[in-house]
Structure 1
Amino acid sequence: MRKVPVTEAAGMVLCHDITRIIPGREKGRAFRRGQVITPGDIPTLLDLGKEHIYVWESEDSLIHEDEAALSLARHAAGPGLKWDQPNQGRVNLRPVHDGLLKVDVDQLNRVNSLVDIAMATAHNNRVVKKGQIVAGTRVIPLAIRREILEEAEEICSQAGPMITVKPFQPLWLGVVTTGSEVYSGRIQDGFCSVIKQKTAPFGAKVMGQVIVPDDPFLISKEIHQFVAGGAELVLVTGGMSVDPDDVTPVGIRATGAEVISYGAPVLPGSMFMLAYLGHVPVCGLPGCVMFNSVTIFDLILPRIFAGERISRSEIVSLGHGGLCDECGECRFPACSFGKS
């Protein structure tokens, strides 16, 4: 790579993209790497503030920014991802299907700790759509030393792929609605329609809804019946507070399920309960799920449909970022809620 004055660059091959920025209007590539500079290009380059350019001279110990960024993307990308071609030294990663973005944050931090490396991602455990940009990488100089790139490549793949997108699984869903006031017909249930709305994007197949009074035995019985009938997820609504008549947690425990957590450091959603009856998740949903647009349910649900078994430590970690701002116009997931 050699630096030459623009006025002497006619006939030479540009070794990097050059960007044109018009404030508030445009940002894009004005000159492409590999482009042969013509005499007519020189005034444009000078207008862009370029008095010198770099031309490429091959050197075994250096890797060009485009090749380096492309190699980093390929090593970091796991199942569910594809990469773009380099543009202005940057390579983007995009999902090939809708799903749950998984990022090994420790690996990511180790890569970014290396000199001259930059890799940015969306947040771990975020729901992403096919084709959206979820990560981007580049190197800082126009060429990076080969040994640095090789170290970054090794980190990217040594503990498995750094970045993946898990597809959602269309689970069979059973809904147990508790509450003597709903069972007796005094009030109409409002939970089931919300549940259907929130689970439909993940492909949920609703087996049915049963309504039971505040009776731990009946709650436990209906959970078991759904699981015996093939349910892969059971949601139990209502009766999750500390009032004496709210016995849903008792009913879930009575199934013999492994209780991961009753209570979570998330607002709204602190009275949430997660348990597993064998491999089947059983979730106790507090009343806020029916009234608030975004709650802990929206943080847990994508992970369940991606086939993940959630641990207590992961519930605990939701506290950092677990306070919803309850904005007038909800922007979730493009906000801080649930992002540690």
Structure 2
Amino acid sequence: MIYGTVAASSAEGAVLVHSVRVGERTFRKGRTLDAGDVQALVEARIEAVVVIRYEAGDVPEDEAARRLAEPLVGPGVAADGAFTGRVNLRARHAGVLRLDQAAIDAVNHLDEALTIGTLEDYAPVAEGQLIATIKIIPFAAPAAALEAAVARLRESPSPFRVASFRGISAFLIQTTLPTVKESVLDKTAAITKERLVQVGGRLLGEQRCAHTAEAVAAAVAEAPSVDVLLIAGASAITDRRDVLPAGIEAAGGVVEHFGMPVDPGNLLLFAKKDGRPVVGLPGCARSPKLNGFDWVLQRLGAGLEVDRRQIMAMGVGGLLAEIPTRPQPREIAPPPDRPQVAVLVLAAGQSRRMGRLNKLVQPLGTKPMVAFPVDAALASKASEVVVVTGHAPRDVETALAGRTLRFVHNPRFDEGLSTSLQAGIKALGPHLDGAIVCLGDMPRITAQHLDRLIDAFEPEAGHSLVVPTVDGKRGNPVLWGRRHFQAIQDLAGDVGARHLIGQNESELVEVPMADDAALIDIDTQDALERARSDER
């Protein structure tokens, strides 16, 4: 790449290195300047800009990120779209992440422009959770390094896979002593059941017996056939010849390993009987706090091998007691960290420029106009779809019958667009991080358009406002982060929230679109007829 400061008048075709304020607009870094942009810079009396120009052998950052991500998508893994030189990998289902660290390290050592960051190996993950990010260090990657990385990755299976939780079954045996209260045993059973739920498993039952080797042996022998047998002793296991291991062996089991380099959890016992795992629980397993038993259970729940060598390898990272940020078992499968976004489809207007027709329910091809953006929202990554009605609400509800969505009625629809925005925002739950405000008269919006906005939405990184652009011109729909909801609630009259964008340029992400759907709405009969002609 060629990097440097150039006269604004000669910057056409170059890529901005830093964002530039141009009148009421902001040209974001990474923007490829066209002739119109250059004219705007000159008219704004901006004399020079810092840019890069691609050279032969440079691969633009989005293309490079996408190409590097392709061989990284393994079983149980999905890739987001490329944006600002980044592709995020996510878990397709809940389970345990497995990594080939050597393969990932090899790519990270090839060239400083190519980076892959991941969660740790054996991390428990939820469906949709971010597991890795591929980032091209701006603004391009050397083609030779990229091709070498892709070739190396394709030589072997993907270094990423998510082993899904298989729905294992378990049975719990608890031994008793006069000093152990029934309430303690009840709590242990409840916590164990919850642990199993978090790895997709189920506790089929429980048996309590005396704290003797003979009683344990009888309970093990009588236990139902399950995927894993769990035994919680009334006192901690202190030796391979103690009550629990002696009872397991008397029932025909084999103790494979006692102890583990994880704290809490040191006194875990791992055995096998008839080919199935038998786990003697450490005392800390009576608590919901994370401990070594959780690590073993997560792997068993995902069908991953657990043996003495696996347990002995858990020491690095195994000091859990002094890490206050470690989750408790109810968070073993943490909620997806992809921001939760709703789509608000505004369908409350009176279509004044269409005469007596309610344009939203007019047929366009095979379905009513409003069904196009609604179906796009339902097919997208959005968590929820809410349709705001106002004028002729029953007509809109009938046009969208049979779809999984929520209707919110705005009785003040005749007071202007702002009231519909506010009705929709007010109806959103506290779990949502943002909302895409989509107009009901934009039939060319697709799920792919909406997903590109969602992929670019990173409120924790300060990217709380996402706008589609077409050749540098901003369009709709717009994704608003939760922090902007109050400002929307404060709007008044027949105006949207467009002016709020200018007030929050520092948090704005512009997403270039490949077509002009973000600029097309249907306001007149002539526009409707043209759209119908296009549909034929």
Same fold (TM over 0.5): yes
Structure 1: distance between partners of 2:140 and 2:183: 72
Question: How far, CA to CA, are the matches of 1:243 and 1:162 in structure 2?
Answer: 39
In structure 2, distance between residues paired with 1:283 and 1:42: 73
Q: What is the rounded CA distance, in whole Å, between the counterparts of 1:44 and 1:285 in structure 2?
A: 71
Preserved contact between residue 94 and residue 135 of structure 1 (Cα < 8 Å): yes
The structure with higher relative contact order (CA 8 Å, sep 6+) is: 1
What is the aligned partner in structure 2 of residue 30 from structure 1?
28
Secondary structure of 2:28's counterpart equals strand
Retained in 1: the 8 A contact 2:240–2:258? no
**Aligned letter for 2:191?**
V
Judged with a 3 Å threshold, the aligned counterparts in structure 2 of structure 1 residues 158 and 189 are, in CA distance, closer, same or farther, namely: same
List per-residue Cα deviations over 1:82-122 (Å, max 9, x = no partner): 11222221111111222211111111111111123211001
Residue by residue over 1:169-197, the C-alpha shift from the partner in whole angstroms, topping out at 9 and shown as x without a partner, is 11111111123438997975532111012
* 1:113 corresponds to 2:109: yes
The offset of 1:276, in angstroms, is: 2.6
Instruction: Decide whether aligned partners of structure 1 residues 187 and 164 sit closer, same or farther in structure 2, where only a CA change above 3 A counts.
Output: closer
Structure 2: which 5+ runs fail to align? 21-25, 332-536
**1:26-105 alignment, distance < 5 Å:** 30-31=28-29, 33-34=31-32, 36=34, 37-41=37-41, 51-56=49-54, 59=56, 61-105=57-101
Q: Deviations over 1:10-33 (max 9, x none)?
A: 5x23457x5659xxxxxx992555
* Aligned with 1:284 (options 247, 257, 280): 280
Q: Which amino acid aligns with 1:296?
A: G
> Distance in 1 between the 2:40 and 2:71 partners?
40
Residue 305 of structure 1 corresponds to 301
2:51 maps to a residue whose letter is I
CA distance in 2, matches of 1:290, 1:244: 21
**Higher helix residue share:** 2
Q: What is the aligned partner in structure 1 of residue 262 from structure 2?
A: 266
Q: Which amino acid aligns with 1:300?
A: V
* SS of equivalent to 1:39: helix
1:237 counterpart (189, 208, 232)? 232
Alpha-carbon separation, structure 1, partners of 2:276 and 2:241: 26
- Structure 1 residue identity aligned to 2:146: L
User: How much is the aligned-residue C-alpha RMSD, in angstroms?
Assistant: 3.4
Q: Is the 8 A contact 1:214 1:246 kept in 2?
A: no
Amino acid corresponding to residue 13 of structure 1 in structure 2: G
Residue in 1 aligned with 2:9? 8
Tell me whether 1:294 sits opposite 2:290 in the alignment: yes
Paired positions, count: 320
Code of the aligned partner of 2:39: P
Counterparts of 1:150 and 1:257 in 2: how far apart (Å)? 52
- Alignment-mate amino acid for residue 248 of structure 1: L
Give 2:119's match in structure 1, choosing from 111, 119, 122. Answer: 122
Q: Aligned residues: percent identity? A: 26
TM-aligned CA distance change 1:35 to 1:174, over 3 Å: farther
- Equivalent residue in structure 2 for 1:147, among 129, 136, 144: 144
User: Would the aligned equivalents of 2:67 and 2:150 in 1 still touch at CA under 8 Å?
Assistant: yes
TM-score by structure 1 length? Answer: 0.81
Q: Does 1:191 align with 2:165?
A: no
Shift of 1:330: 5.0
The answer (yes or no) to whether the contact 1:223–1:255 under 8 Å persists in 2 is yes
- TM-score, scaled to structure 2: 0.53
Larger Rg: 2
